[in-house]
Amino acid sequence: MEVVIVPDAKAGGELIAEAMAALLRRKPDALLGVATGSTPLPVYEALARKVRAGEVDASRARVCQLDEYVGLPAGHPESYRATVLREVVEPLGLPEASFMGPDGSAEDLPAACEGYDRALAEAGGVDLQLLGIGTDGHIGFNEPCSSLASRTRIKTLTQQTRVDNARFFDGDLEQVPHHVITQGIGTILDARHLVLLATGEGKAEAVAQTVEGPLSALVPASALQLHRHATVVVDEAAASKLKLADYFRHTYANKPSWQGL
Ligand code: PGA
């Protein structure tokens, strides 16, 4: 996998937004898989800036969601549907119809999960999937010991993830749902290009294990090692535990100009 070390989160956001813009110039109706959480915000801000500046036409872009809480009332501001609409779809000026995600309030959740996997395939598959990483190494909400072949399904959050996410619920752990729907690791690996962004020292250990550790169910993000086109973008703090950081810097600095990102 390719590791790109950037000075800070803003530079990471700019780099990935440019990769998305380049994809949209090649394929105007590309399906962009987006992630929630704090980390990807600089990406969405940079991409929206490019759209406003006329550097890229995103009007035909399609957007899909990685995961969703189960049981939040429809329209809850912290549901991932509401979050992606607010942070991605609206700033890019896209119609709501361009957006797809799993229904966390469906009566038949397993059917909703299966239906979402089917819908992604029928849409032609995800062209670029942006990922964050949990401090416990999760991608999407695939917590440690998720099957590396898993498909979209219901998962139970670890206590660590609920504590990490309580800040989105006024710091009240009680409000953080226990269950989620998440694209499986196998589903995520179906995307044509995976781009994981990690910033801050709190992610350094998970990043080192993802990039340099063994392929392990304990670190779901290590499944990126199985993908033919995975890019890991990290700031200096998140790169601080990489043994091969100098090699990654050298490789990127000497990258052939025809290669993207
Ligand atoms: P964060 O979440 O970007 O808010 O740190 C990442 C994740 O849990 O995948």
Q: How far is CA 161 from the centre of its chain?
A: 15
Specify the pLDDT at position 74: 81
Q: Are the C-beta atoms of residues 56 and 28 closer than 8 Å to each other?
A: no
Specify the pLDDT at position 31: 98
Q: How far is the CA of 260 from the centre of ligand 1 (A)?
A: 25
Report whether pLDDT(257) > 80.
no
Q: Is the CB of 132 under 6 A from ligand 1?
A: yes
Q: Are the C-beta atoms of residues 133 and 160 closer than 8 Å to each other?
A: no
Q: 173: closest CA among 162, 187, 185?
A: 162
- Confidence category of residue 232, pLDDT binned at 50, 70, 90: very high
Q: What are the tokens at 150? A: 């898993």
In angstroms, what CA-CA distances link 110 with 76, 83, 158, 182?
Answer: 22, 23, 20, 11
Specify the pLDDT at position 256: 78
Report whether pLDDT(193) > 90.
yes
Report whether pLDDT(260) > 80.
no
The pTM of this model reads 0.96
> What is the Cα–Cα distance from 201 to 60, expressed in whole angstroms?
37
> What is the Cα–Cα distance from 235 to 180, expressed in whole angstroms?
29
> What is the Cα–Cα distance from 133 to 196, expressed in whole angstroms?
7
In angstroms, what CA-CA distances link 260 with 23, 211, 219?
Answer: 10, 20, 27
Express each pLDDT in 126-169 by its tens digit. Answer: 999 999 999 999 999 999 999 999 999 999 999 999 999 999 99
Q: What is the dihedral of CA 11, 16, 20, 26, to 10 degrees?
A: 90
**Alpha carbon nearest to ligand 1 atom 8, residue:** 134
Q: Among 3.40.50.1360, 3.30.200.210, 1.20.1250.20, 3.40.50.300, name the CATH number for the domain at 2-252.
A: 3.40.50.1360
Q: What percent of the chain has pLDDT over 70?
A: 100
Q: What are the tokens at 123? A: 């849409």
Q: Give the residue, out of 38, 87, 129, 203, with the most ligand 1 atoms within 8 A of its beta carbon, to mutate for a pocket test.
A: 38
Residue linked to tokens 């036409």? 57
Q: Specify whether 143 is catalytic.
A: yes
Q: How far is the CA of 221 from the centre of ligand 1 (A)?
A: 12
Q: How far is the CA of 244 from the centre of ligand 1 (A)?
A: 24
Cβ contacts of residue 201 below 8 Å, gap of 6+? 237, 238, 240
Main-chain dihedrals φ then ψ at residue 76, nearest 5 degrees? -55, 130
Q: 48: closest CA among 37, 32, 27, 67?
A: 32
Specify the pLDDT at position 201: 98
Q: Specify whether 138 is catalytic.
A: yes
**What pairs with residue 179 in β-bridges?**
156
Report whether pLDDT(258) > 90.
no
- Confidence category of residue 259, pLDDT binned at 50, 70, 90: confident
Q: How far is the CA of 199 from the centre of ligand 1 (A)?
A: 10
Query: For 235-242, what is the mean pLDDT?
Result: 98
Q: Are the C-beta atoms of residues 189 and 229 closer than 8 Å to each other?
A: no
Q: Is the CB of 200 under 6 A from ligand 1?
A: no
Determine the Cα angle at 223 with ends 124 and 13, to 5°.
70
- Confidence category of residue 180, pLDDT binned at 50, 70, 90: very high
Per DSSP (E only), the strands in 35-169 are: 62-65, 67-69, 99-100, 128-131, 153-156
Q: What are the tokens at 157? A: 């959050």
Q: Specify whether 136 is catalytic.
A: yes
Q: Is the CB of 98 under 6 A from ligand 1?
A: no
Q: Is the CB of 134 under 6 A from ligand 1?
A: yes
Specify the pLDDT at position 109: 97
Residue linked to tokens 């995307």? 191
Query: Can you tell me which atom of ligand 1 is nearest the CA of 37?
Result: 4
Q: How far is the CA of 123 from the centre of ligand 1 (A)?
A: 26
Express each pLDDT in 33-47 by its tens digit. Answer: 999 999 999 999 999
Query: Can you tell me which atom of ligand 1 is nearest the CA of 35?
Result: 9
Q: Specify whether 67 is catalytic.
A: yes
> What is the Cα–Cα distance from 33 to 120, expressed in whole angstroms?
10
Q: Given 117, 127, 143, 190, which residue is catalytic?
A: 143
